[in-house]
Structure 1
Amino acid sequence: MGKIVISEFMDEQAADSLKECFDVTFNVDLVEDREALLAAVADADGIIVRNRTQVNTELLAAAPRLKVVGRLGVGLDNIDLKACEARGVVVKPAIGGNGSSVAEYVITAALLLRRAAYFSTSAMVQGDWPRQALIGREVSGSTLGLVGFGAIAQETARRAQALDMQVAAHDPYLPHDAPEWAGVKRHESLNSLLQTADVVSLHIPLTDATRHLIDVTALASMKPDAVLVNAARGGIVDEAALASALREERLAGAMLDVFEQEPLPAGSVLDGVPGLILTPHIAGVTEESNARISQMTADNVRDVLAQAEEMT
């Protein structure tokens, strides 16, 4: 019987489905205890992770039997893909499992930040009535600018259009004549998109090319009444530059779900920044998406190990 280690949270029903054929170690504390994790994978054929477990050369060396990494999500920056390929370890992300969850998060952020009225609780319970100060803007008629136009961005675009938003996008990797561009204004450059968008949402992976893509210069290109949403990957936004832009009112607001360091360190530059909403990497995680992604990942891992068994 093969062994599968699950080091982060997963739908229990999906995890239980693996126990029919495999010895399963399901321990969410392993992501916090590297030594225990390395010991657990010593005889593992598969591992299932989210975004915090680092699947690197150290882990691969500790897991000589490893054949598959199941990713509960789509981001792969915590997985050394080249090292996995060199070892013949298959990496299986749960593509398409959380698209609607992230899209809803982005639209919610646009509504919250544009309206601006939802920051009033503290003042109101102290007896203030800041009605005039909190007259915000509608999303209807505004422009949503999508940086990257893959599947999740496309789902976001459809929801935005239903709210009568105009949608624009920049994605140099999507062909000019791709049918996905129908009804969406295509921008050749990131700067052009940033200059015209009222809401900017990021939908790109973290790579050497995208690290701090949204930096001092990029933020200066945005309208002072624009807002920024990042539910993609931490590190794409220069957090110090964003904090300064918000404090100096060069940007109207921002909502971040991902960060350069997770959890946020004490004394983060984001502490106390006005107009900023922070959430703990939860955009793609709902009850529904967790069930979908978990079952998809369980099936992916099961299929890879079954194929490996057939070949031996």
Structure 2
Amino acid sequence: MSFKVLIADKISDEACKILQDAGLEVTKKTGLDEDALAKEVQGFDAILVRSAVKVTRKVIEAGKSSLKVIGRAGVGVDNIDLQAAKEANILVMNVPQGNAIAAAEHAIGLMFSMARMIPQAMQSLQGGEWERSKFVGVELCGKRLGVIGFGAVGRIVADRALGLRMHVSAYDPSVATYVMEAMGVLPALTLDELLPNADIVSLHATLTPATKGLINKETISKMKKGAMLINTARGALVDEEALLDALNSGHISFAALDVFSKEPPPKDNPLIHHPRVIVTPHLGASTHESQRKVALAIARQVRDYLLNGVIAGAV
């Protein structure tokens, strides 16, 4: 009997071929809503998704009689009901390293864009203006970057920032301080240590009940006046209303957001139209290289688990 794999999100044909060449039966059905996915998943041994598809409790309950593994082609698993999967004894796998370079480079790109107001200057020039004095930026060299979340992405961001001769501090209670120190990064034991001294704060934490709303009215008040904020992790890490207030008051001088609490955000979300906010539509992992890497990796992980019981990337 061959195992059946449901591809419920856009994953490369090359990844599908890995599964098919191993004798697995592959079905591709994308664009399904919760009800349709709950109906479709029945009878499958594995389901593969990216970030757009939500594997909810309803979906897991519908498929639990046959489902053995949920594969996430990427890092974040907030689109999967982990508790429901645990209760159903279904393994959840991700690819924690696959898109780290892409996400880190996007954060660095946003940092440059803020420091030199590149999108605003381009828009001005395209509008027929020549406003050199309006767009006087700041140098990154010598500034302090505060990294919140020191996993794969946070470490690459820190490494690149050190290469720019920035000073880097990091806060992550799950990472030993010697790991940071070995890179030349100053550990912060609390957010209260990191926030007041950082010229730029970059978020790379995973979204959990403990980190939801991590950047809020209280924590923003502890940030240096005029600091900049980058969020390429998860939108719900930031209280968007508190961020908007801080931007309007000038306490935060600039923000760069690749993620939002609701995606896609409402068209009238004031942060999208704010003159001192740079926004991108969740592009952190969107490179050809990273999408290929995570798709191939999760296909191999799911194949090896179904055929040989090998566990890799378990959440």
**TM-score bin, normalised by smaller chain:** over 0.9
Structure 2 counterpart of 1:114, one-letter code: A
Alpha-carbon separation, structure 1, partners of 2:183 and 2:122:
41
Give the structure 2 partner of residue 44 of structure 1. 44
Task: Call closer, same or farther: CA 1:58–1:96 in 2, change over 3 Å.
Answer: same
Alpha-carbon separation, structure 2, partners of 1:244 and 1:27:
43
Compute the displacement of 1:259 (Å). Answer: 1.4
Structure 1 counterpart of 2:40, one-letter code: A
Alpha-carbon separation, structure 2, partners of 1:179 and 1:108:
23
Would you say the 8 A contact 2:5–2:48 is kept in 1? Answer: yes
Give the structure 2 partner of residue 61 of structure 1. 61
TM-score (norm 1): 0.92
Task: Call closer, same or farther: CA 1:118–1:272 in 2, change over 3 Å.
Answer: closer
Unaligned ranges ≥5, structure 2: 311-315
Would you say the 8 A contact 2:228–2:254 is kept in 1? Answer: yes
Would you say the 8 A contact 1:227–1:253 is kept in 2? Answer: yes
Alpha-carbon separation, structure 2, partners of 1:179 and 1:257:
25
Give the structure 2 partner of residue 27 of structure 1. 29
Describe the SS at the equivalent of 1:255: strand
- Report whether the alignment pairs 1:120 with 2:118: no
Deviation per CA, 1:137-181, whole angstroms, max 9, x where unpaired?
A: 111111111012122211111111111111111122222334654
Would you say the 8 A contact 2:34–2:54 is kept in 1? Answer: no
| RMSD, matched Cα | 1.8
Give the structure 2 partner of residue 166 of structure 1. 167
Give the structure 1 partner of residue 145 of structure 2. 144
Alpha-carbon separation, structure 1, partners of 2:272 and 2:233:
21
Alpha-carbon separation, structure 1, partners of 2:194 and 2:224:
11
- State the identity as a percent: 37
Compute the displacement of 1:206 (Å). Answer: 1.2
Describe the SS at the equivalent of 1:270: helix
Compute the displacement of 1:72 (Å). Answer: 1.0
Describe the SS at the equivalent of 1:201: strand
Alpha-carbon separation, structure 1, partners of 2:180 and 2:251:
36
TM-score (norm 2): 0.92
Give the structure 2 partner of residue 98 of structure 1. 99
Alpha-carbon separation, structure 2, partners of 1:202 and 1:52:
21
Would you say the 8 A contact 1:97–1:292 is kept in 2? Answer: yes
Deviation per CA, 1:270-307, whole angstroms, max 9, x where unpaired?
A: 24212112222220221001111000000011111113
Deviation per CA, 1:103-154, whole angstroms, max 9, x where unpaired?
A: 1111111111111243123322333221111000111111111012122211
Would you say the 8 A contact 1:214–1:237 is kept in 2? Answer: yes
Describe the SS at the equivalent of 2:235: coil
Would you say the 8 A contact 2:181–2:187 is kept in 1? Answer: no
Structure 1 counterpart of 2:81, one-letter code: D
Task: Call closer, same or farther: CA 1:193–1:19 in 2, change over 3 Å.
Answer: same
Give the structure 1 partner of residue 291 of structure 2. 290
Unaligned ranges ≥5, structure 1: none
Count of aligned pairs between the two proteins: 307
Note the 1:199-278 alignment, pairs <5 A. Answer: 199-278=200-279
